[in-house]
Copies of this chain bind each other. A is one copy, B any other.
Amino acid sequence: MQNYYAVIMAGGSGTRLWPLSRHHLPKQALQLIGERTMLQHAVDRLLPILPVERVFIVTAAEYVPLLSAQVPDIPPENFIMEPAARGTAGAIGLAAVYLQQRDPEAVMAVLTADHFIRSVEVFRQVLQVAYHLATQGHIVTLGICPSYPATGFGYIRRGDRIAQVDGFDVYAVEAFVEKPDARRAAEFVASGLYSWNSGMFVWQVPRILREFAQHMPDVHALLQRIAAALGTPDAVQVLQTVWPQVRKETIDYGIMEKARGVVVIPVDIGWSDIGDWEALYGVHMTCMDGNVILGNHLGIATKGCLIRGGDKLIVTVGLENTIVVDTEDVLLICARDRAQDVKAVVEQLQANGMTNLL
Contacts and interface: CB of A to CB of B under 8 A. Distances in A.
Interface of A: 19, 298, 300-301, 309, 312-319, 322, 324, 326, 329-335, 337-338, 341-342, 344-345, 348-349, 354, 357
B332 A318 contact: no
A313 B338 contact: no
Contacts of A333: 314-317, 319, 322, 324, 333
Contact of A345 (B300, B322, B337): B300
Contact of A331 (B318, B326, B337): B326
B332 A300 contact: no
B301 A345 contact: no
Given A318-B338, A338-B301, A313 B344 contact: no
B341 A318 contact: yes
Contact of A319 (B301, B317, B335): B335
Nearest to A327: B312
The 4 A-B pairs at the shortest CB distance, nearest first, are namely A318-B335, A318-B338, A317-B334, A317-B338
A334 B317 CA distance: 4
A158 to B, nearest CB: 37
A293 to B, nearest CB: 13
B330 A312 contact: yes
Contacts of A301: 335, 338, 341
A133 B313 CA distance: 52
A8 to B, nearest CB: 31
A356 to B, nearest CB: 10
Contacts of A342: 317
A298 B348 CA distance: 9
Q: Select the residue from A342, A344, A345 with max chain B CB neighbours within 10 A.
A: A345
Q: Select the residue from A312, A330, A333, A341 with max chain B CB neighbours within 10 A.
A: A333
